[in-house]
Amino acid sequence: MSIKFENVSYVYSPGSPLEKKGLENISFELNDGSFTAIIGHTGSGKSTLMQHFNALLKPTSGQVEIAGIKIKSDTNNKHLKNLRRHVSLVFQFPESQLFESTVLDDIAFGPKNFGYDDDKAKQSAQKWLKKVGLPVEIGSRSPFELSGGQMRRVAIAGVLAYEPDILCLDEPAAGLDPRSRKQMMELFSDYRNAGHTVILVTHNMDDVANYADDVLIMEHGKLIKHSQPTEVFKNRSWLKEHHLDEPKSSVFAAQLKNYNFPAPPLRLPDLISGIKQNLKG
Amino acid sequence: MSKILIGRYLPGDSLIYKMDPRGKLLATVLFIFIIFLANNPFTYVIITFFSLVAVAATKLKWKIFWEGIKPVIWLILFTSLLQLFFTVGGTVYWHWGIFALTSYGISNAIFIFIRFTVIVLISTVMTVTTTPLEIADAIEWLLIPLKLVKVPVDKIALVMSIALRFVPTLFDETFKIMNAQRSRGADFNNGGLVARAKAITPLLIPLFINSLSTAIDLSTAMESRGYRGDEGRTRFRVLHWSKFDLCNLGYFLILTALLVIFRTH
């Protein structure tokens, strides 16, 4: 189920005056079961890159290989459903995709499309409704009666309900309150620990520090760095040069002038233990 | 989707872009009427020449205009063929049942072909060089006389500019929802007519709901910024006539004059 990009480029409306480069010569490989964060500025090509994962966009040149399926510019659309069964995308503000008359029906929409029979789809819907932290009674209500945060959970349950091997998320916690945000991220972390691959597009460096074990950094449609979070956040001047933020813990640590940290602490526990070390020594 | 050119604006910086949209709109409407003045080969040559000059003046690639004609090319060819084989009169070259190839038929077919093509060309020149908002302003200006018969021109103009403002937003939204539903297995391109119509539900319902909630949000935002819907609002975007716009209209008046002079009675 590994993901491999080979010299992938993507051009929007080629040949017209509105032609625009989306991706330029991108190559990388992601391992099974990894939690990858894609970061970069707005307009750096993160979303364009993400839409290549399940062939919503096909590369203008180069090749993408996902779950054993090769996608090139001339790949036929007909056989992509199988790919989408394995790789699913959750777009920003996914609550705008709800449409069924009840929450359970909406969650079961995906599973049904991918060949679950009615009973199995319903069971899966109920299971994931609970897993995203919503009470069972909500299942029979209309999704449009729910709050924004609840709708978000329903939408995400709708994607998780057929348990795709690779889950790509575009800012899944944008606009949520801090508590829901944490719950949501924990849910994805659990999903990954259950043996799936998770890819997260985000602006939140704390999420990167807390959950990711692999980072892709995009700039102007190019991949400028692919490495682990500890590597990425080690070089502060490089981050500044590319207008990227740091996790709050490392920002705080940098302000502690007389303290010594072997490496910037990325998470709160690292920061705390680092301070303890300094106080002792 | 991106192939449809009519109604799309393409950025550029030739003189036509700086012209007043009212002049361009008037000229385009005028053109569709005066084209019917042409009735002999020479007048059609004049029309073709004037249109091609207008197209060249946009300084855009010719390919763009070909893209504009392509979607209607079958209609144009079909009409021309009908003219070619069903026109009676003149010298008969070939004859079979109800079909006949006559000299009138040939000239009519060519005339119809030119007529269609130049209408598409000139409207394309108008739409590619004018932003939708400018077109809305121009339409509003042209509607002003209707105020005399109590037509709420200001409100129509507001509705028009809001509608135009939201066309790209709704387009983006449509694509996003389509992609989201595709990601969960919806199939918009396969199956029979009924299956396809059914497949549209997951797209249409969210789109309606989004539009309505956007409308509610927008109206609240407008009210909180002091909009009361009554008259007495000022204008920020003001249109200006320049000498180029007189040239623009003059160009079409010369064309009209030439057609009137050279048409046969």
DSSP string for A2-33: -EEEEEEEEEESTTSTT-EEEEEEEEEEE-TT
Closest chain A C-alpha to B65 CA, distance in angstroms: 12
pLDDT higher than threshold 70 for residue B7: no
In order along its 281 residues, chain A shows pLDDT tens digits of 689 999 999 998 776 666 788 899 999 999 999 999 999 988 899 989 999 998 899 999 999 998 888 888 888 877 788 888 899 999 999 999 999 999 999 999 999 999 899 999 999 999 999 999 999 999 999 999 999 889 999 999 999 999 999 999 999 988 888 898 999 999 999 999 999 999 999 999 999 999 999 999 999 999 999 999 999 888 888 998 998 989 999 999 989 888 888 888 899 999 999 999 888 87
pLDDT tens, residue by residue, B33-82: 988 888 888 889 999 999 998 888 888 888 888 877 888 889 999 988 88
* Res B158: pLDDT: 86
Determine, for residues A96 and B189 on separate chains, whether the beta-carbon distance falls below 8 Å.
Answer: no
CA angle B151, B154, B160 (to 5 degrees): 100
Q: Is A162 part of the contact surface with chain B (CB cutoff 8 Å)?
A: yes
pLDDT tens, residue by residue, B205-227: 999 999 999 999 999 999 999 88
Distance of alpha carbon A82 from alpha carbon A109, whole angstroms: 16
Quote the tokens at residue B22: 């009212």
Confidence of residue B144 (pLDDT cuts 50, 70, 90): confident
* Nearest-Cα residue of chain B relative to residue A14: B2
Confidence of residue B168 (pLDDT cuts 50, 70, 90): confident
Distance of alpha carbon A97 from alpha carbon A100, whole angstroms: 10
Span B105-133, average pLDDT? 87
Letter string b/e over residues A95-133, b meaning 16 or more CB atoms within 10 A of that residue's CB = bbbbbbeebbbbbbbbbbbbebeeeebbebbbebbebbe
Minimal Cβ distance to A94: which of B12, B180, B210? B180
Interface ipTM above 0.95: no
Determine, for residues B209 and A97 on separate chains, whether the beta-carbon distance falls below 8 Å.
Answer: no
3-state SS string over A41-64?
Answer: CCCCCHHHHHCCCCCCCCCCEEEE
Determine, for residues B180 and A109 on separate chains, whether the beta-carbon distance falls below 8 Å.
Answer: no
Residue of B183, B208, B216 to mutate, testing the A interface (most A Cβ within 10 Å of its Cβ): B183
Q: Residue A125: how many CA atoms within 13 Å on its side-chain side? A: 26
Tally C-beta pairs within 8 A across A and B.
Answer: 75
**Please, which residues 79-118 of chain A have a Cβ atom closer than 8 Å to chain B?**
81, 84-85, 88-91, 94, 96-99, 109-110, 112-114
Distance of alpha carbon A229 from alpha carbon A234, whole angstroms: 8
* Nearest-Cα residue of chain B relative to residue A13: B2
Residue of B131, B184, B201, B217 to mutate, testing the A interface (most A Cβ within 10 Å of its Cβ): B184
